[in-house]
Amino acid sequence: MLSADIFGAPPITFDQIRSIDEQAPQLILWAVPLMIFFAVLEYLVARWQHRDDIYDHSELRGSVLVGLGYLLSNYLTKIILFSITVFIYNLIPWRQHFVWWLFFPCYVLHDFCSYWAHRISHEQRLWWATHVPHHSANHYNLAVSFRLSWIQQLKILFFIPVIAAGFHPLVFFVVNQVAVLFQYWVHTEYIGKLHPWIEYIFATPSNHRVHHGSQKKYLDKNFGATFIIWDRLFGTYMAEQDRPVYGLTTPIHSSNPFYLVFHELIELMKDLQSAPSWRHRLWFLFGSPITIARYKKIQQIQQKRQAQSNPMG
């Protein structure tokens, strides 16, 4: 009886896509006023406490502009992403009906895929180019959560296993929105370490501060979006020790949203054009961003030394 209640859902027709999309709760849009309220509150408290180490006006402007661009890009691509989800859903014989409690197993599987999407976004430069805006702030505050890339919708590729599990598209999109909203509150220094059991299971502000740290010991740690347990299982966990130095290893000082979103992608394109072989091109695409940055720095030093040793050349 249980399987009959869950499985055997009919395919979704093209005509139904828009109506189903309209039925989906717009949780992120509904939450925007609250997110702005708490970010403003945090800003005012920081100003009252003279905490210039928490908010920078130029960075705040950049965060807001990138956030607005993300909302626009999300709106423009929503139907496309929903259509892709429905297409995959229709191919699967174990399609599931919309059942409310399937939200929970879907959320766990979604978070597992999110861990790997996030981790690969740090380990492969192509995907890093879709994630780097989120790490571009040199201060840590709630407004940093607004820094979401306008092209990160490409990461739907990493969530195909969730869709292929047969969850109804409405369940998938509600889960996706809740997962995004959960990550808002962890971007603050005003919440210290919580109860040890909470710290052990969840991606708390303390755990996520580590992820935004640029110190060597903090790099590529704590990828979990909701559950930090994945990091403990796969060896990428690091507890917060001294205060992180936030931002990229090479700090960015710009509030231009287009630069913040596309600067790494532009650099990637330049490297692909100048690469001497396809092997180098593949490495520039899928190699470690840290290793590539070191390689390019060494190349610059060598070129500078050659220019100094041969000034007439």
What integer pLDDT is reported at residue 4 of this predicted model? 52
pLDDT score, position 17: 76
Torsional class of 220: left (φ above 0), alpha (ψ -120 to 50), beta (otherwise): left
DSSP string, 74-131: HHHHHHHHHHHHHHHHHH-TT-B---GGGHHHHHHHHHHHHHHHHHHHHHSHHHHTTT
What amino acid occupies position 299? Q
Q: Which pLDDT score is estimated for 63?
A: 97
Regions of the chain where pLDDT drops below 70:
1-4, 310-313
- Residue 1: what pLDDT? 38
Q: Reduce the DSSP state of residue 7 to 3 states and report it.
A: strand
pLDDT at 22: 73
Q: How far apart are CA 26 and CA 16, in angstroms?
A: 18
> pLDDT value at position 94?
94
Q: For position 303, what pLDDT does the model report?
A: 78
Instruction: Provide, for the chain, the percentages of residues in helix, strand and coil under a 3-state DSSP scheme, each rounded to the nearest 5.
Output: 65, 0, 30
